Structure 1
Amino acid sequence: MKTRSRPRKHNPHIPAHIDQSRLPGGVYFDQRGYGRWYVLARDAAGRQRRKNIADAKATLSELHRITEEQDGIDKHSLKYLCERFHESAQCLALAAKTREDYEYCREALLKIPTKLGKPLGDLSTKQFSPALVQRLVDQIAAEGTPSKANHIVRYLGRVFRWGINRGYCETNPATGVEHAKERKQQRLPTGPIMAKLIAHSRERGNDYPRRGQIGSCPTYLWITMEIAYLCRLRGIEVVTLTDANITEHGLLTNRRKGSRDNIVTWSPRLREAIDTAQKRRADIWQKRGRAIPMMEDRRPLIVSRNGDALRKSSFDSAWQRFVTRALEQGIITQEERFSLHDLKRRGITDTKGNRHDKQQASGHRSASMMDTYDLSVPHVPNSGD
């Protein structure tokens, strides 16, 4: 489907039954005579020509159907079904976090390669069966990401159920599929292992590697690791920090899942990570010729190599590549492997003070959460003292 580069201006001549905000891109209305809808296209000689596609009585759905047929969109593909679902009122009414999870699942699902030489998103929905979906779940789980496999199968089931109710498909191949078994791990990386991996990411950090350079990784990896540990933050909480979170006294957190925000006071390590992130962003924006937003909350602290706010899915991909390469090079062993979220657990465990102090530092509202995040062994006097 065509996309618009900028919002349309209201055209008073367009028929009233058309929602102008939902018109497909590249479709225009000529009010002369009885009125006609048209598109612009180039002929064999490269000259731009007008092509009428419908009269003024055409509905919005008919205009979308016509443009889709002209663009060669396969209306039976999984990609098409996912696009219709994400544009639906039912999807848009979901919570922001749920929509974010669905976007991640769609991006990961549609790009999976198949034996047919094309991505999974190009397959017809009629080619999907419970056996195919089960193989997909088992394959993703075997890569060490059972949680990702379960998120994708739940998303797939939701999309197909929505499609059946609206005539886009006939069956739901995700029904009855076995979910991957998720291991409830409470990994706690040791200080030396954590320091080794952070040092390795600093050494290999290079945002603009030369052609053929192997083993480099984005500089934002070590920055994100440092902030996650020092401030006891989740990965999504680090990548969504902006200049508005930087205060005179420290870094103002932006915790999720109902946790309380707090200000983590400055330390040399935290200041270095923040300063490096800002300098890196300034260099990228200058190289790309990007304008600097005036509002602090519009200036993301962690940006991608092209200067945009870093997406969590992009960070997850870069992290997995980095850890896999560290395993292959013997920097860490499989037993020493940990996730970015484990750095939050390490940070809470290393926080000085009693359990109340650690709970206040982590922002958790429930003291029971300390059983998950505080893995320190308390020192107590013996019963004879």
Structure 2
Amino acid sequence: MKRGRPRKHNPHIPAHVDQSALPRGIYFDHRDSGTWYTLDLDHDNKQRRRNVAPASVTLAELHNIMQDRAGADRGTLRFICDQFETSAQYKKLSASTRKDYQYCRQVLVSIPTKVGKPLGELTARRFTSALIQRLIDRIADEGTPSKAAHVLRYLRRVMQWARNRGYLDQNPAQGIEAPVERKQRRLPATAAMAALIDRAKARGMLARNEKGGCPGYLGFVMEISYLCRLRGIETITLTDANELPEGVLTNRRKGSRDNIVRWTPRLRAAWDGAKACRAKVWVSRGTAIPIRSDRRYIIVASHGGALKKSSLDTAWQRFMKAAIEDGAIAAEDRFGLHDLKRKGITDTPGNRADKQEASGHRDDSMMDVYDLSRPLVNPSSD
């Protein structure tokens, strides 16, 4: 076994153990009757102590213990997940995807098993498709099918990565039946959407610490997301470089095609309003204005820098909760920020092909998700 740097002599280590030949990563605690222990990092990167043997063990037994631990650790699900998180493929993922994967990882490795160990401590090579199917079904049966679906997607990704790099002989997560997730395709009512946009603009003019106030950018985010058919993250990452003479150049994610949304009086007013709100923040905070246009975000946070998606989501939830409590909209009219994109696509004039071109979706099937309009057609005969 590979040894670390030479150890300093420890007078407390039992005399029958040759200190110069100790395996790397094992230490001796002389208190009480004496204990050999190791130090491991948990999922939160915190060091944890684990006692592995009493003081009476021999040097050979200590080597066997450490060899067994190394062999077991390399084959566990936790070890494979750890290796995946240090890979270049994982680091290229978006922050939101990594956050979702970390959540799914913690769910998986902590699942209790009949052998008395959590799932993360079991050897991944012994996993079967039947075992994984039972796990996914169990999570889904707890009333959380979306959680089960996320965990399954994560496990497929990790095990395929491990198979391609020799950690596993096969990917037992392939072919597993995914749970049916709840479909939540809400279409905001026109009146409710208009009321909330007006409310956000009015409340955004209040002082930040004034009761009933909301971030000044929120109303403009809603307008631009709806008019340009954008996700929230796409709206808050628009910059001055996206402002073209003919319209707004989109920056769509998930493989959608970018397009240019022509200027209308309403879109121009929302765009200029967002820039005026940004200028007000920059002046009050004394923010250094970036020279490059692609670094000047249209939507900025209260500190003058780029707005995080998590901050936008928090602001939206607070705004929506307050609107319902105040009676501005009914509870059943509640919708998510992403639903504004669905509303924008549905309200786009033209046929299905026109809507698909405007939305940037490459796959025609996505229109079943985002276009909830009902075509007006002629009868079969006069």
> Does the TM-score normalized on the shorter chain lie above 0.5?
yes
Partner residue, 2:183 = 184
Structure 2: runs of 5+ lacking an equivalent: 1-24, 26-38, 47-80, 120-134, 162-177
Partner residue, 1:205 = 204
In the TM superposition, 1:291-306 aligns within 5 A as 291-306=288-303
- 8 Å CA contact 1:86–1:92 kept in 2: the answer is no
2:48 is the alignment partner of 1:79: no
Partner residue, 1:67 = none
Rg (Cα) greater in structure: 2
1:276-319 Cα offsets, whole Å, 9 max, x none, are 11111122122222211111111111111001111111111111
More off after superposition, 318-327 vs 201-210? 201-210
Give the CA deviation at 1:227: 0.6
Give the CA deviation at 1:89: 6.7
SS of the aligned residue for 1:307 comes to: coil
**Which one-letter code corresponds to 1:348 in the other structure?**
I
In the TM superposition, 1:216-235 aligns within 5 A as 216-235=213-232
SS of the aligned residue for 2:235 comes to: helix
Partner residue, 1:43 = none
1:15-63 Cα offsets, whole Å, 9 max, x none, are xxxxxxxxxxxxxxxxxxxxxxxxxxxxxxxxxxxxxxxxxxxxxxx9x
CA–CA distance in 2 between the matches of 1:295 and 1:264? 22
CA–CA distance in 1 between the matches of 2:287 and 2:40? 38
1:193-244 Cα offsets, whole Å, 9 max, x none, are 111111111121147424xx32211111111110111001111111111111
Q: Relative to 1, partners in 2 of residues 1:380 and 1:302: Cα closer, same or farther, differing over 3 Å?
A: same
* Partner of residue 370 from structure 2, selected from 364, 368, 373: 373
Question: Alignment length, in residue pairs?
Answer: 277
Give the CA deviation at 1:90: 2.3
Partner residue, 2:89 = 93
TM-score by length of 1: 0.60
- 8 Å CA contact 1:293–1:299 kept in 2: the answer is yes
Q: Relative to 1, partners in 2 of residues 1:97 and 1:208: Cα closer, same or farther, differing over 3 Å?
A: farther
2:262 is the alignment partner of 1:265: yes
Q: Relative to 1, partners in 2 of residues 1:186 and 1:79: Cα closer, same or farther, differing over 3 Å?
A: same
CA–CA distance in 1 between the matches of 2:45 and 2:206? 35
Q: Relative to 1, partners in 2 of residues 1:151 and 1:205: Cα closer, same or farther, differing over 3 Å?
A: farther
CA–CA distance in 2 between the matches of 1:201 and 1:339? 14
2:318 is the alignment partner of 1:321: yes
Q: Relative to 1, partners in 2 of residues 1:97 and 1:330: Cα closer, same or farther, differing over 3 Å?
A: farther
SS of the aligned residue for 1:351 comes to: coil
Q: Relative to 1, partners in 2 of residues 1:214 and 1:301: Cα closer, same or farther, differing over 3 Å?
A: same
Structure 1: runs of 5+ lacking an equivalent: 1-61, 63-73, 110-119, 121-125, 163-178
TM-score by length of 2: 0.60
Give the CA deviation at 1:361: 0.7
In the TM superposition, 1:238-249 aligns within 5 A as 238-249=235-246
**Which one-letter code corresponds to 2:45 in the other structure?**
Y
CA–CA distance in 2 between the matches of 1:350 and 1:255? 19
